[in-house]
Amino acid sequence: MPGSERLRDCKVLRKITEAHAKEGRLCGAVGEAPSVVLETWGLLKGCQVTCHPSFMDQLSSAVAVDSSIQVDGMVTTSQGPALTLDFALSIAERLFGKKMLDEVLLRSMVLVPIANGSDEMEIVVVVDVLRRAKVNVLVASVEDSLEIVAARGTKILADQLIKDAILSNYDLIHLPGGWYGAQKLGSSEQLIALLREHAESKVYGAICASAVMLDTKGLLKGKKATTHPHYSSKLSDQSSVNVRVVIDGKVITSNGPGSAMEYAVSIVEKLLGMEKANHISETMGFSYP
């Protein structure tokens, strides 16, 4: 309530919103805001509107409707915080259309944890290819700051810290290599806990030294994998250590930065199918498989 009252009393906001509405643009409010703010400003006259049940009687110029989400003309209203996601999706559909909204909602989500010492190519190449394929990629730092210094001194800025990133669900988790970076990833209790839960039913992958890290955590048990030749003796299963990219069920591994492109396109194939993988490869001038 205090927040809505402050919005109502902001003269600059009122001037902007009134001009916005006059131009016939979209307007929306949630909870008590439809009655406390938009109704007070006279922007709901004759509109079918919903709001928090406790404030319904204050909709004097509007037609009060008992619904979760109400759309009338250019005005969208919702009853409260529990319906905020539905409200946001309703607004997004009106802005971009149902087809585009459905496309965005159906996009795969990939987590890329990074640390000081992670290999640059094994981060950037994979993230770039996946984003070209319209995959949603979240880069998360396991350090105390968003910025990490990669193996060759390149500074990379993550989207989130791992403590925030673990709150979301992912279709795939990709672990870049770099020996020191891989060890740092392996020391993140939050990341390993997420990986263990994720590995029960979803796809995950690693390049170079991170494949060894997964093996030490028991996350390659019964799986064929590859890693950088320098670390190949450290893998429990030696049967595929000379292969550039290995796919065994829900696990994908790569031997190093030189096969990062092939590995990334393999992820595209795993998530979106061979047709998409071939299309992305062609647009990059890359031969796959």
3-state SS string for the chain: CHHHHHHHCCHHHHHHHHHHHHCCCCEEEECCHHHHHHHCCCCCCCCEECCCHHHHHHCCCCEECCCCEEEECCEEEECCHHHHHHHHHHHHHHHHCHHHHHHHHHCCEEEEEECCCCCHHHHHHHHHHHHHCCCEEEEEECCCCCEEECCCCCEEECCEEHHHHCCCCCCEEEECCCHHHHHHHHCCHHHHHHHHHHHCCCEEEEECHHHHHHHHCCCCCCCCCCCCHHHHHHCCCCCCCCCCEEEECCEEEECCHHHHHHHHHHHHHHHHCHHHHHHHHHHHCCCCC
Give catalytic residues, as residue numbers.
122, 208, 228
